[in-house]
Amino acid sequence: MNKILDFLYKKQSLIYKIFLFLLSVFLIVYFFPTQGKFKYEIIKNKPWQYENLYAPFDFPILKSDEELEAEKIEVQSTHIPYYVFDQATASNILRSWKTKSNTEVDSLIQNTISDNLIQSLLDSIYSRGLISESKRLNNKDLIYLKRANKVQETTYGNLINQDALNLFLNSTLDTLNQTTQTVLKSFFYDLLEPNVAYDQAFNDKLINSEIANISPTRGSVSKGSKIIAKGEIIEGEKLRILQSLKSEYQSEDLDSTSYIMILSGYSLLVALALLMLLLFLYQYRQDIYENNNKLTFIFFNILFMVFLTLVVMKIGYKYVYIVPLCILPLTLKAFFDARLGLFSHVITVLILGFVVPNSFEYMFLQISAGIVTILTVSELYKRANLFISVAQITGVYMFSYLAFSMIQEADFQSIDYNNFIYFILSGVGLLFVQPLIYTYEKIFRLVSDLSLLELTDTNSRLLKELANVAPGTFHHSLNVANLAEAAANEIGANALLVRVGALYHDIGKMKNPIYFTENQTTNITPHDELSPQESAQIIIDHRLEGIEYAKKNNLPDRIIDFIRTHHGTTTVYYFYQKAQQEAPEDVNIDSKDFTYPGPKPYSKETAILMMCDSVEAASKSLKSPNTNLIDEFVEKIINKQIEDDQFENANITFKDIQLIKKILKAKLNNIYHLRIEYPD
């Protein structure tokens, strides 16, 4: 049992990687649509590349979206509308019109007209029905009029609308004088209320019912019928039949054996794609592969983009381009590097290619956009750069889609321009990458260029404390930061990262600042009262003190690595030599007491810092610097580090080191360049 536990403990990192891999495969396949994959690629207006295709079974021909839309419009246009006749309104008006008459009308009734005339007019109007015109039709159009429990078929012209009411009153009152007509018309307009209305709810229900009954198919194809021959252009009816066959194939009910086969196929393909990613990390990004936190972060981002795409596809396949898939390479480039970001993006697109419609078009657009993302997005912490890159990415989407549509539709009017709106929405989604990066930093404890930029602020609390407590060290750190940044730019390393590392690499000297030469203002040094071993230990301990300061102030691990490695396993040579000189001849001085414990630099950036730190610190000892002296001085220090194998773990080449030497020589020559002496 102990052996098993011991084995599990030693292999826990590998076990976690296997678990993460299997869990990712399971989650992706679990949410994949479980349907058969049509084995032919259908590209409109392109020749059929396969052998002659015959119908494998009987299947119906699906109507196109345009045909279905035309039938819906026809249902709406041919629908005979229903109107409701409100008998109660008519009865109330007929029964109580006298109570609503005014003095002027009462006088007319007594002197000129009779009650019977008004009553007759009202009967004529309400027997036909007075309509409120929310939906205007032609007079000859048929309608259904619902009176109580009966439905009467009539024409729209039989109802009285506003225009018909004017004509009706004019013809009926024509025999009366003009004054009487005006008064009575005003009276009727105030008195009358519509008693016929369009039955919106009932008509909508009928129309929706008729639309639901529209058949999605027209005709059928018999088993064995030739669908298309090799070399024929995929267009018109042949395209519709092929799409119908694909839809029928994918919607076919699967038995348990077929279901298991499809799941197994998906699992193998997804596993292969993720395995390629793991192999890439193992081969070219060993530090990321060994770090389970970073590995989890990468897999999480891939899963997140896959799930987001699948959710959008559930809403509608046509919205698939709304998903801002380029957030993935943007995020991974911000935390790691461009090559890993692009590789992970390609793997994600390959996985989604199994389930998205028009997979070749989708993959071409997404991979093209991913490449542009990697090539154009630089210095993400600059807001203008992000907006410019988003515009370029959106432009690539639109340009590529337009090119595909020109091939497939051969007509600008047939292009679905809604996708351009989706591309713009996808671009807007890319703008959320900055808050997303900030969230990831907090959750996964990673550091991006945005955080590094904040750490370069010399007004931060920790750097202000360094400037106050150890001003010489602060000045030294600024000089090293400038040298290291220039060297990193020269060899293509992360200049912002190495600058931040240089600013904080010596914060441990705040513990005992006076014991370090750059902070001493007189010729008296406290080391005179200590043994060489004690002095060396104080010097060596500034590394551990720096790590403690960094952790207390929540500096990222990537910055702490600079503190940990900037002296590698070098020797505090001055005190080692002093100890040898002071020791009796029979006493052997152990060099381990004067050696930094390491580790050695393991990246280009940490190696650059070691070189720049040593050269800048030692350059203070130059008495009368000149070009030759500086060149020999730089060569001597860096060659000594190479001889001591300080860079054996770093991915830095001899060519890189030669370029760094060149930059350091040029910078030091500029620093020590003497001004000409001006006359008094």
Distances (CA, A) of 351 to 243, 333, 345, 355, 629: 23, 20, 10, 8, 59
**What's the confidence (pLDDT) of residue 285?**
87
Residue 608 class from Cβ within 10 Å (0-12 exposed, 13-18 middle, 19+ buried)?
buried
**What's the confidence (pLDDT) of residue 483?**
95
Q: Any idea which of 130-144, 354-368, 462-476, 524-538 has the lowest mean pLDDT? A: 130-144
- Which residue from 501, 442, 360, 464 is spatially nearest to 38, judged by alpha carbons? 360
Q: Answer with the residue of higher pLDDT: 383 or 298.
A: 298
Q: Is 658 helix (H, G, I), strand (E, B) or coil?
A: helix
- Which residue from 153, 5, 30 is spatially nearest to 82, judged by alpha carbons? 153
Distances (CA, A) of 211 to 216, 429, 550, 616, 673: 10, 36, 69, 81, 87
Q: Mind listing the domains of the chain with CATH numbers? A: 2-35+256-429 (no CATH), 82-198 (no CATH), 449-671 (1.10.3210)
Q: Which residues contact 454 (CB under 8 A, 6 or more apart)?
A: 460
**What's the confidence (pLDDT) of residue 591?**
82
| Percentage of the residues of the chain whose pLDDT score is greater than 70 | 91
Confidence label for 505 from pLDDT (cuts 50, 70 and 90): very high
Tens digit of pLDDT for each residue in 370-393? 999 888 866 666 667 788 888 889
- Which residue from 377, 365, 390, 366 is spatially nearest to 337, judged by alpha carbons? 377
**What's the confidence (pLDDT) of residue 502?**
96
Question: Residue 390 carries which side chain, given as an amino acid letter?
Answer: V
Residue 145's DSSP bridge partners are 83, 152
**What's the confidence (pLDDT) of residue 675?**
46
Question: Residue 55 carries which side chain, given as an amino acid letter?
Answer: A
Helix spans in 380-417 (H) = 383-409
Q: Is 152 helix (H, G, I), strand (E, B) or coil?
A: strand
**What's the confidence (pLDDT) of residue 108?**
59
- Interval 457-464 mean pLDDT: 91
Max mean pLDDT among 136-145, 446-455, 493-502 falls in: 493-502
**What's the confidence (pLDDT) of residue 114?**
65
**What's the confidence (pLDDT) of residue 245?**
79
Residue 678 sits at φ, ψ, to 5 deg, of -85, 145
The yes-or-no verdict on residue 55 having pLDDT over 90 is: no
Contact 541, 502 (CB under 8 A): no
Q: Any idea which of 273-282, 319-328, 439-448, 665-674 has the lowest mean pLDDT? A: 665-674
DSSP 536-550: HHHHHHHHHHHHHHH
Estimate to the nearest angstrom the gap between the alpha carbon of 644 and the chain centroid. 47
**What's the confidence (pLDDT) of residue 410?**
65
The yes-or-no verdict on residue 180 having pLDDT over 50 is: yes
Q: Is 64 helix (H, G, I), strand (E, B) or coil?
A: coil
Q: Any idea which of 196-200, 352-356, 472-476, 672-676 has the lowest mean pLDDT? A: 672-676
Angle between helices 654-671 and 471-491 in degrees, nearest 10:
130
**What's the confidence (pLDDT) of residue 164?**
77
Q: Is 505 helix (H, G, I), strand (E, B) or coil?
A: coil
**What's the confidence (pLDDT) of residue 280?**
95
* Interatomic CA distance for residues 342 and 332, integer angstroms: 9
**What's the confidence (pLDDT) of residue 677?**
44
**What's the confidence (pLDDT) of residue 111?**
55
Contact 29, 270 (CB under 8 A): yes
Confidence label for 115 from pLDDT (cuts 50, 70 and 90): low
Give, for 219, the enclosing helix (H) or strand (E). strand 217-221
Q: How would you classify the pairing of strands 142-147 and 82-85? A: parallel
20: Cα within 13 Å, side-chain hemisphere:
24
Q: Any idea which of 150-154, 250-254, 355-359, 513-517 has the lowest mean pLDDT? A: 250-254
Q: Is the peptide bond before 216 cis (omega within 30 degrees of 0)?
A: no
**What's the confidence (pLDDT) of residue 380?**
62
**What's the confidence (pLDDT) of residue 255?**
60
- Interval 621-626 mean pLDDT: 78
The yes-or-no verdict on residue 97 having pLDDT over 70 is: no
Tens digit of pLDDT for each residue in 414-446? 777 888 899 999 999 988 888 888 889 888 888
Contact 506, 477 (CB under 8 A): yes
Helix spans in 461-531 (H) = 461-469, 471-491, 495-504
251: left (phi over 0), alpha (psi -120 to 50) or beta: alpha
* Interatomic CA distance for residues 294 and 447, integer angstroms: 11
- Interval 612-619 mean pLDDT: 91
**What's the confidence (pLDDT) of residue 360?**
85
Distances (CA, A) of 139 to 73, 164, 509: 22, 10, 97
* Interatomic CA distance for residues 229 and 489, integer angstroms: 59
**What's the confidence (pLDDT) of residue 34?**
64
The yes-or-no verdict on residue 276 having pLDDT over 70 is: yes
Give, for 138, the enclosing helix (H) or strand (E). none
The yes-or-no verdict on residue 184 having pLDDT over 50 is: yes
Average pLDDT, the chain: 85
SS3 letters for 559-607?
HHHHHHHCCCCCECHHHHHHHHHHCCCCCCCCHHHHECCCCCCCCHHHH
